[in-house]
Amino acid sequence: MSELQFSEKLLQTGIVSFGAAGALEKFRSGIRSKKPVVYAAIGGSITQGGRASCPGNCYVSRIGAAIAERTSCRVVNAGVGATDSGYGVFRADADLLSCAPDLITIEFAVNDFDKPEAEATYEALIRKCLKSAPQALILLLFAVYQDGRTVEEKQTAIGRHYGLPMLSPGKIMNRGMAKKLFRWEDIAADHVHPNDAGHRLFAEAAEYLLLKAPVPETTCGAVTALPSPLHPDTAEYERGRIVRTRQFQPVSHTGWELKTEPWPEECCYCTDEPGAVLEFQLTSKRLWLGFRQYAGDYGRIEVQVDDWPPVPFEGYYVNFAGGDAWRGGHLIYEEIQNETRSRSHRIRIRLLDSRNPASHGNHFEIAYVLFWP
């Protein structure tokens, strides 16, 4: 099959909003004057480049290359597979905003699906970007599952509240299939991840909105001040912080070892020894523990905060009924403590003897703690 072509008319169907008056033109003016651009992207596996044949073919790299044809461009890809905007807002300062970006793309329309706190965490991420990088143009991207699932509608409402440009590659994909221009299999590698052609669709649509499309006079009005949050928990998530295991200062770690392999993007405290104990202290009013789940020889832990009863957590990944053959290997987070005020806590993690019947080992990996100081 020859390389798919995406017409201007088709790309137009993905433009949800050009954003507040003047913001997009300011970005384009900087490009025309050859101002260097730092482009930073945050999202899940689609942003990370999942199922692209090589890093250069993922949509983030392609957007960076399109900008680089016009001016110098540094690309920072902060996509992490199987993560949502909850994890995104906690790590945004270190992974996204520390590079002082001029352009930010946010893509969580499929990973935020069926997450009760997602609207608040997504809005908190946007607000954190607006506060920390007021010079940046923020573009919201909305992907879609093959069966049509997406939280685009909810995220669009938040984007309009802040006057942000928004783009729906999902709408373009659905429109192209409805017009029989291509099939899902032509643009996707599985039920959600774009293949090389799909990543190119994402990138060409973004390039069209950012650099080429005529901007109508009916763009939404300028947002002169940061509006109040839409969701009551948003401000709470804005204050969240992350401590990765490489930053831990354990009180004790009998039987646990800090390793950077085989997933160098996230250091982990690892153990295979039932009874191994990892203890540390942290001042907070709410704590989430981040750990890896995998359908392999993974075990269970119990977590005890201060003198509270210990709570067990499962390291073996069980795919949902009817799911694909994915075995996990991703990082998840679970709440381990929630109070109304901040105080010092001692957290004790112990590897248990018990494990899922399908597992033949007790391996466990701790990656981070999310907390509210």
* Span 169-173, average pLDDT: 98
3-state SS, 84-129, equals: CHHHHHHHHHHHCHHHCCCEEEEECCCCCCCCCCHHHHHHHHHHHH
This prediction has a pTM of 0.95
Residue 21 is predicted with a pLDDT of 81
- Could you tell me the two tokens for 270? 């690892």
The dotted CATH code for 240-372 is 2.60.120.260
Going by C-alpha positions, the residue among 344, 331, 305 that lies closest to residue 90 is 331
pLDDT digits (tens, 9 = 90+) for 338-356: 999 999 999 999 999 999 9
Tell me the pLDDT band of 86, cut-offs 50, 70 and 90: very high
- Provide the pLDDT for residue 224: 66
Instruction: Domain 8-218: give its CATH superfamily.
Output: SGNH hydrolase (3.40.50.1110)
CA distance linking residue 103 with residue 135, whole number of Å: 9
Reported as a single tens digit per residue, the pLDDT across 235-280 is 999 999 999 988 888 999 899 999 887 654 578 999 999 999 999 9
pLDDT band at 323 (very low <50, low <70, confident <90, very high): low
- Domain spans of the chain? 8-218, 240-372
From the number of C-beta atoms within 10 Å of its C-beta (0-12, 13-18, 19+), residue 236 rates as: middle
Q: Which two tokens stand for residue 103?
A: 């352009």
Helix (H, G, I), strand (E, B) or coil at 157: helix
Q: Report d(CA 18, CA 30) in Å as an integer.
A: 17
